[in-house]
Amino acid sequence: MQVVILGSGSPLPDPERAGPSTLVRTSAGDVLIDCGRGVLMRAAATGSGAGSLRALLLTHLHSDHITDLNDVITTRWVLSFSPSPLHVFGPPGTAAVVHGVESMLDLDVGYRLAHHDELTWRPSTSVTEIDSGHVLDEGAVRITSARTDHTPVHHSLAFRIDDGDASVVVAGDTVPCAGLDLLCKDVDLLVHTVVRRDLIEAFDLPRLTDVLDYHSSVSDAAATAARGGVRTLLMTHLVPAPTPGTENAWLDQAAASFSGGVLLGSDLLCVDV
């Protein structure tokens, strides 16, 4: 199994960091977790793309995590040679969001159907709204989910993917919580969103400091990894984005609470599990 950080950024636009998205390459096919801005541009650099996705998993419905959902749907459709539904799994509300995106695309779909005689089908999605528990089984691959705490987001999820003896957990935005702890037990790799509490507090701007009460700090994510007996912690969705030369400060904060391996996410970072 292979994990690729397609987007390590946040809602703050950054020329070096696409929006939150993680690709997990399994024996059953490519699984995409979240689809922030620029996701298909980054996926193209890995040889993946919308047409090769076995499933799209959404951790929650904040805009920065689903910005390019329309691009994934449209690109899968226009580059296919027969109907190929996009299988989407996400929290309650996912069906309404996907339906809204499809409605937004109605004019575009009509234009393309009118122009391409061989394109005789509309884009197609299969949406499954989920809670904690089983998501998908295919061959040696098993995907499970757990509810996390991103209040006031009413329903947010983390996902665990097991492929044979290899395992990875991808956590969306969350504070430390029991659901994530349960999912992380003895996992090989934990991909966790993080913020730097010390740097954000220094800005002293309510719009920024407000994010601290529903995101994990570096220390929080490291403590979660330690409690679960995780082998390696990979930090992503970095707020604020590290400036060149400051990367060790992030790693040192994590190492203070976690004795396992620690990686700092960057776009197209690839980890074999």
pLDDT tens digits, one per residue of 44-56: 999 999 999 999 9
Instruction: Classify burial at 93, counting beta carbons within 10 Å of its beta carbon; exposed 0-12, middle 13-18, buried 19 or more.
Output: middle
- The answer to whether residue 162 is catalytic is no
Residue ranges of the domains in the chain? Answer: 2-272
Catalytic member of 14, 30, 34, 64:
64
**2-272: CATH number:** 3.60.15.10
pLDDT tens digits, one per residue of 214-264: 999 999 999 999 999 999 999 999 999 999 999 999 999 999 999 999 999
This model's pTM is above 0.75: yes
Contact (Cβ atoms closer than 8 angstroms) between residue 88 and residue 35: no
